[in-house]
Structure 1
């Protein structure tokens, strides 16, 4: 079955260009291309959409607010596609349930791979976006523990895993640093997600750095 996609961008050139690009691939079905977040939300409420490709800065309703509503009210998975000047929106978008956050200067194949990854339940966050996320949270120093979180909720090993997620390390890199298997790392992440009711590792990073679930 094709991945059902909606595109929301107030720039008609980008919006229609992305529609054309996705339609050249056999595994995508572009159901609609709309000009703002409100139109995207309305469409997803009435139709079964797998992935919503959302710009951040749009009239009527921006991509962050659309992400929040889509995550709360529909089964559509929001994927943010934006530019370098949207730093202030990154944290909120991820907190509200964005499954991915990519820059528009990526090549089409990278964007298509991201849509596929999000559709299959994975989360996509470019390293450059993760770096900006840390800066926006005031993360300009290295540390092993965060005084903001309630450390009594977690085991010492869970805290060690969380601190490395906040630094942007992959499961493989965490496993190497802590001398444990990747499967064990995944188990610790699952435990942290269960204790916090978070959905993915990027939200864990935000929680570790800020102490806030939302």
Structure 2
């Protein structure tokens, strides 16, 4: 049986061929809790569906409405096989426990680069996960890579870095004929912060450097949206 674990998933593990992210809207904090309990019952009540699923992770939105799901697969094909053979029974069980869940689609990403501020013995722990989506008006993936490179350069050269930022992992959305549910041209930044307050302080202290100005005015960049989450639990391959 799979087990709930406390450590956050390793986003840089080399065997991840597909990082799938999706969100559910459930309405209230009480329904968030009930949905997490139903998810746990579903995952703990069955054997692990396939060795090609590496981890299944659940995050609770600080908005009192949203859940974010993040699953790590060896390939997109493995996920599609799971959908055909195993997914519906789990969905039906969860919907029976918490009717009326709104599922907002699922998208496939590949991690491109990361930025990590931790050193050996760092006592900080992530108290807030901020999922930041950056949108572009040009489908060229090389443009998005160049933008990520600029962001990391700006982070590395920032003269007053936020002490609350632990790490940022940048993902490129996978598009094409078999793209799962979202055809927006975007980048996903999965950022670990020590707390919501630390993130708010960093936003409020906005004092852009020339590097950050290049990020903001990069050709084709349309802007970002951000949602905040608390890591709830992870189910991992036995």
TM-score above 0.5 = no
The structure with the greater share of residues assigned to strand is 2
The structure with the greater share of residues assigned to helix is 1
Higher relative contact order (CA 8 A, sep 6+): 2
TM-score (norm 2): 0.24
